[in-house]
């Protein structure tokens, strides 16, 4: 009697390569993969990094390539001060009304404007994220007190207070960034609080609490990763808003004190010469526009990359 051959074991079904790759990647790796495929955000990040590098290298560029100084009065071959010289071979972006090289001042001004933006984002994130996390996680009286402080700060006319403080204090870059950060952190706190309110009631948080995890461990290991994506995006928006706020305040004459240059006070000092010397107006205006636009595009790309539901 013939013995029946054993049935062949079915081969496992191969998953698509893209699906295997996406499941093998972690959260941050997947976020970076999605961000790399967003060409607009990637180009914006490259332009923003180029602006940061050029501003940080301003002393090297002005000393080794341009052979100028931001406070140096340029002179013509005849020995006169080169005031209001249009862009040309000797002065790529021209000179201002007192003979200073516009390109050199623009590079140094980028250090001030970008420093204000980065510092404000750090202050806003350092104050707003913990406040929003504590308010949403503990609730009750803690939430009431933090919300009261947030509402109080949001009802203060920030521009008016900044103008008054600039008159009496004449703040430097760090002090100006700290003042801006004190007005920006309530918005960060509200955004973080909204995310934590939805995350604290999830099943994995309840499971961690049942297993004996303390409040600190739950906030650090289970809730904070969900807040990180929102916090990064809000920090980028705060940076762009700070650059615009510093430029607006400097344009009104109450920002960074002269002779220290920023894109805002360069624009302010050149507003009366818009028709006679337009090369003084366009460079700082373009730098403000391009930098803020790149920050917004990068923030938008990070939002899409860090939230898989918004991936394209």
pLDDT of 309 reads 56
User: Long-range contacts of range 289-294, CB-CB < 8 Å, 24 or more positions apart?
Assistant: 290/47, 290/51, 291/48, 291/51, 291/113, 291/114, 291/117, 291/240, 291/243, 292/240, 292/243, 292/244, 293/44, 294/44, 294/45, 294/47, 294/48, 294/51
pLDDT confidence of residue 108: 92
Where do the domains of the chain lie, and which CATH numbers do they carry?
A: 27-310 (1.10.3720.10)
Q: In terms of pTM, does the model score above 0.75? A: yes
Question: Which CA distances in Å does 37 have to 23, 305, 310?
Answer: 17, 9, 13
Q: Which two tokens stand for residue 157?
A: 């006319």
| Number of neighbours of residue 164 by Cβ within 10 angstroms | 12
Q: What pLDDT was estimated at residue 286?
A: 92
pLDDT value at position 21?
43
Burial code (b: 16+ CB inside 10 Å, e: under 16) for 105-139 equals bbbbbbbbbbbbbbbbbebbbebbbbbbbbbbbee
Phi/psi at 75 (5° precision): -125, 150
Interior angle at CA 151, CA 241 and CA 161, nearest 5? 55
Q: What is the DSSP string of 180-206?
A: HHHHHHHHHHHHHHHHHHHHTTSHHHH
Cβ(76)–Cβ(63) below 8 Å: no
Rounded to whole angstroms, the Cα distance separating 71 from 258 reads: 11
Which stretches in the chain have pLDDT values below 50? 1-2, 5, 7-24, 311-312
pLDDT at 255: 73
According to the model, what pLDDT value does residue 46 have?
Answer: 95
| Cis before 259? omega within 30 | yes
CA atoms within 13 A on the CB side of 3: 2
Residue 254 φ/ψ, nearest 5 degrees: -125, 20
pLDDT per position as a tens digit, 240-271: 888 888 888 877 767 777 777 888 888 877 87
Q: What pLDDT is stored for residue 308 in this prediction? A: 54
What is the residue-wise DSSP string for 261-302? --HHHHHHHTGGGTTT-GGGTHHHHHHHHHHHHHHHHHHHHH
- 94 contacts 281 by C-beta, under 8 angstroms: no
For residue 72, what is the DSSP state?
-
Residue 18 makes CB contacts below 8 A (sequence gap 6+) with none
Chain position carrying tokens 């007190």: 145
The three-point CA angle 207-209-212 to 5° equals: 110
């Amino acid at each position: 009697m013939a013995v029946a051959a054993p049935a062949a074991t079915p081969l496992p079904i191969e998953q698509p390569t893209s699906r295997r790759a996406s499941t093998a990647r972690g959260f941050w790796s997947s976020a970076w993969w999605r961000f790399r495929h967003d060409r607009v955000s990637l180009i914006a990040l490259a332009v923003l990094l180029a602006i940061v590098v050029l501003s940080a290298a301003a002393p090297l560029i002005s000393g080794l390539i341009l052979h100028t100084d931001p406070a140096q009065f340029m002179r013509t071959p005849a020995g006169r001060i080169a005031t209001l010289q249009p862009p040309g071979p000797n002065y790529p972006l021209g000179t201002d009304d007192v003979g200073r090289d516009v390109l050199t001042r623009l590079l140094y001004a980028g250090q001030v404007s970008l420093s204000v933006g980065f510092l404000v984002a750090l202050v806003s994130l350092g104050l707003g994220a913990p406040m929003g996390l504590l308010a949403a996680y503990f609730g009750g009286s803690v939430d009431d007190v933090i919300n009261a402080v947030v509402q109080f700060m949001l009802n203060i006319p920030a521009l008016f207070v900044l103008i008054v403080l600039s008159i009496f204090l004449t703040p430097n870059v760090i002090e100006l960034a700290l003042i801006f950060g004190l007005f920006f952190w309530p918005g960060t706190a509200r955004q973080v609080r909204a995310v934590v309110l939805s995350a604290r009631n999830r099943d994995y948080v309840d499971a961690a609490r049942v297993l004996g995890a303390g409040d600190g461990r739950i906030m650090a290991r289970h809730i904070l990763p969900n807040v990180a994506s929102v916090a990064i995006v809000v920090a980028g928006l705060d940076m762009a808003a700070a650059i615009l706020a510093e430029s607006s305040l400097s344009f009104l004459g109450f920002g960074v004190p002269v002779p220290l240059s920023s894109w805002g006070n360069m624009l302010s000092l050149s507003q009366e010469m818009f028709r006679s010397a337009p090369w003084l107006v366009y460079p700082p205006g373009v730098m403000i526009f391009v930098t803020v636009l790149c920050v917004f595009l990068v923030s938008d790309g990070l939002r899409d990359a860090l939230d898989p539901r918004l991936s394209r």
